[in-house]
Amino acid sequence: MTVALAVPDVLVARAQAGDEAALGALFRAFETPVYNLARRMLRNAEDAEDVLQETFLEVVKSIRDYRGEGYLWGWIRRIAATKALMRIRRDQVRATEPLNEEAGKPGMHVGANIDLERAFENLTATSRAVVWLHDVEGYTHEEIGELMGKSVSFSKSQLARAHARLRRMLGEGEGAHT
């Protein structure tokens, strides 16, 4: 999903002044893209809902600091991505899941010829995050590395592994292109 939302400057200014109706309008404009981003990056809907809430709580607190650099969606999206990545790191610490884990969910057979959405769901959280941020949201490897506290090569290798695994899960071929 590509988002190209333009928000009138006057609406942002009203939100910065604490106008509740303006904040509500911003919430309605961005709730779906924020939730969609979080849901694609995270394993379950409840976590994505929490990220949606945390993101807008942050927006409410910090909108006065938004100076209009770049577009508003980019600013909000960065908050959401950071919140989602924090949640992924927390879950990895709790589950002792290695950050560069390649295996997906148990029970997913390689070459099962499933649809792309299901295959994507079966990537690890880290892989999903990298694929979504890079391929769909258009983040660079440098930006992803910065967001994740990792190197550019980490982001690149995660993306390559994820695509190799997607390709295998989709039954698009075996062997050479890994």
Partner 1 sequence: MHCTMDDLLALRAGEASVWARRHVEDCAVCRAELDGLYQRVAQLKALPALRPPRDRWSVVRDAARVVRVRRRRTWSAWSLAAAAALAGVLLVPRFGSRGTLHAELSQAKEQSATLEDQLQRYDVDGRVLSGRTAARVAELEDRIAAIDGDLAGRSGVKAQAQDAELVKLWQQRVDLMRQLVNARAIRTRYVGL
Closer Cβ to partner 1, 106 or 128, answer by number: 128
> Which window, 6-14, 70-78, 88-96, 162-170, contacts partner 1 (CB under 8 A)?
162-170
Closer Cβ to partner 1, 39 or 77, answer by number: 39
**Do residues 43 and 83 make contact, with C-beta atoms less than 8 angstroms apart?**
no
Binding residue (CB under 8 A) for partner 1 from 65, 96, 106, 117? 117
The yes or no reply on residue 160 touching partner 1 (CB under 8 A) is yes
The yes or no reply on residue 89 touching partner 1 (CB under 8 A) is no
The yes or no reply on residue 45 touching partner 1 (CB under 8 A) is yes
- Total residues contacting partner 1 by CB under 8 A comes to 48
The yes or no reply on residue 139 touching partner 1 (CB under 8 A) is no
The yes or no reply on residue 66 touching partner 1 (CB under 8 A) is no
Closer Cβ to partner 1, 4 or 106, answer by number: 4
Q: Other CB atoms closer than 10 Å to residue 152's CB: what's the count?
A: 14
CA distance 125 to 101: 9
The yes or no reply on residue 1 touching partner 1 (CB under 8 A) is yes
**Do residues 140 and 102 make contact, with C-beta atoms less than 8 angstroms apart?**
no
Residue 175: DSSP 8-state: S
170: left (phi over 0), alpha (psi -120 to 50) or beta: alpha
**Cα diameter, the chain:** 58
CA distance 162 to 1: 19
Rg (CA), the chain: 18
Q: What are phi and psi of 150, to 5 degrees?
A: -130, 180
Which spans of this chain sit near partner 1 (rule: CB under 8 A)?
1-2, 18, 20, 23-24, 27-28, 31-33, 35-36, 39-40, 45, 48-49, 52-54, 56-58, 60-61, 116-117, 120, 131-132, 135-136, 156-157, 159-161, 163-164, 166-167, 170, 172-173, 176-178
